[in-house]
Amino acid sequence: MKTIITIMVTASMMLVSCGDNAPVKENGQLSVSGIHLINQYGDTVMLHGVSYGWHNWWPRFYNEGTVTELTEDWGINVIRAAMGVEPDDGYLKSPEWSREKVETIVDAAIKNDIYVIIDWHAHGIHTEEAAEFFSEIARKYGAYPHVIYEIFNEPVRDSWDTIKQYSIEVIRAIREHDPDNIILVGSPYWDQDLHIVADDPIEGFDNLMYALHFYAATHGESLRDRGDYAMSKGIPLFISESAGMEASGDGPIDYEAWSRWINWMKEHKISWVTWSISDKDETCSMLKESAGSEGGWTKEDLKESGIKTRELMREMGDKE
């Protein structure tokens, strides 16, 4: 059992806005009830936050300063550490360095009292390596209610049968050390084939959710329909990566399409994370090269997607 700070509440709400400076202290251990993410009091929680870019390409932002900036100024209550697995300097080739970068973000999230997604940012199956990594992470951090595990970022070519078997092996590795923190499971074809998952979900484990990823200028009503179908079958969703432009990460932001997604997430109380804290020359990267490595960013350091994401995060976090 985890040690959770208990606080007094004067009223019970149907939806908790984790917008205060201490969302984990306020909400404590998260769990899944039906299709909803709930806090220690049984109230529905809708997390909102941002994802770092691949750690192997933008390691300069993987530090405590940026976590504090995003928490205090942007008003996020969840951060996602995207640990690149397959490319050069990714986990498969540089495991100790990769884990060090991720743990820096986890430690900073705990210090800032926000939730943190530990993302195995891969496109292919690496069962042995993933199970070993998550077993070690769960052994070290499983007692903290801050932690959320994302065990497969975006499957591309693998079938659901293959992904399902991989997921069960990794979930077992986590549950040996952490019996209750949330685990996010991927689905075929970039986390979009939720209708297949809904007809054959993983059974025998608690507190699982399924990742849905969208880029609003590419993905629209048909993907939301798949999400609706999955929820109708009792499948809890968590949007662990999303943005307002094309799926390539580039092109203009489609504000109207993005707004439809945001309204849909709010309607269904689905937690969501936006991509990404990086300075690549593309629309979805939120920062310019002028942005300091440890935060302290001004509006001039933010690109269009960064300005809009900060605005949305502050609105969700009730930041004036």
Q: Are 75 and 317 in contact (CB under 8 A)?
A: yes
What CA–CA distance (Å, rounded) separates 316 from 243?
16
Spatial distance between the Cα atoms of 286 and 301, rounded to a whole number of angstroms: 9
Cα–Cα distance for residue pair 300/226, rounded to 1 Å: 39
Nearest to 193 by CA among 226, 215, 167: 226
Count the residues in the chain: 320
What 3-state class would DSSP assign to 49?
strand
Q: Which helix H or strand E contains 234, and what residues bound it?
A: none
Helices (H) and strands (E) in the chain, counts: 10, 12
169 as an active site residue: the answer is: no
Q: Which of the residues 26, 69, 150, 154 is marked catalytic?
A: 154
Token pair listed for 108: 């900073």
Is 246 an active-site residue? no
- 3 state SS of 74: helix
Within 8 A by CB and 6+ apart from 120, the residues are 83, 85, 91, 130, 133, 134, 150, 151, 152, 153
Structure tokens at 116: 């943190």
Catalytic residue selected from 26, 69, 150, 241: 241
- Catalytically active residues are 154, 241
